[in-house]
Structure formats: C-alpha cells, structure tokens
Amino acid sequence: QSALTQPPSASGSPGQSVTISCTGTSSDDSGYNFVSWYQHHPGKAPKLIIYEVSRRPSGVPDRFSGSKSGNTASLTVSGLQAEDEADYYCNSYAGSNNLGVFGGGTKLTVL
C-alpha cells in the first residue's frame, strides 16, 4: 500500500479542468517541497510534468499546474485535450523510505 494516496480515476471533457490529489506528502512547515508529478502513457517512458510542487520543466504546457496545502498536493490539468489521457503519478519523500514513494496513480480519461 502506497504512502501517498491518489484517486484511482479522474475524468473530464475536452476543454474542462480536472484536479488530481495526492495525500500524504510532508506538511508545509517541513521545509521540503519535493513533490513531483509524472505523466505515463502506457508503453512509453513516464514524463516529468511538475517538480518541487509547482515548477514546470521547459516544454511542459502551462495547462499543467501544481499546488500543495498541508499534506495534500494537487495537479490541475486545464483545457483538457485528448492527448492528456494517461496515468498520473505523484512522488514525494515519505518517512522511512529516503528514496521517496509514488502515489498509486490516477487514470485520467478525457471523455
């Protein structure tokens, strides 16, 4: 069982926004904001889309945004497009595993 909890599924229509939560990250006062998000299309390599809670790597559309409140991080995908349909994983450090852990993953469906 993952130390980070994500909803197993999320969905939205093209153009809409959807938010995926990730609960179990360190609290805001820990000084560590190492939450990252990955997009994974089956059969392909995962892709970094958000790091350090809200930073976007170059080349990632600004439709993807991240935030954190307390021990819950969130990924918001705005202006949903068909190609956004994928599995999304959060990652953060958690307690005894100093490598960090992944959330269980959320399958995003674009209706």
Pick 28 or 52: Cβ nearer another protein: 52
Q: Does 16 bind another protein (CB under 8 A)?
A: no
Structure tokens at 110: 């674009």
Q: For the chain, state the CA radius of gyration.
A: 13
- Interface segment toward another protein; rule CB under 8 A; list 14-22, 30-38, 68-76, 77-85: 30-38
Cβ at position 79, least distance to another protein in Å: 24
Q: Tell me the β-bridge partners of 5.
A: 23
In the chain, DSSP finds a helix count (H) and a strand count (E) of 0, 9
Report if residue 102 touches another protein, rule: CB under 8 A. yes
Q: State the amino acid at position 97 in one-letter form.
A: N
Q: How far is the CB of 14 from another protein (least distance, A)?
A: 26
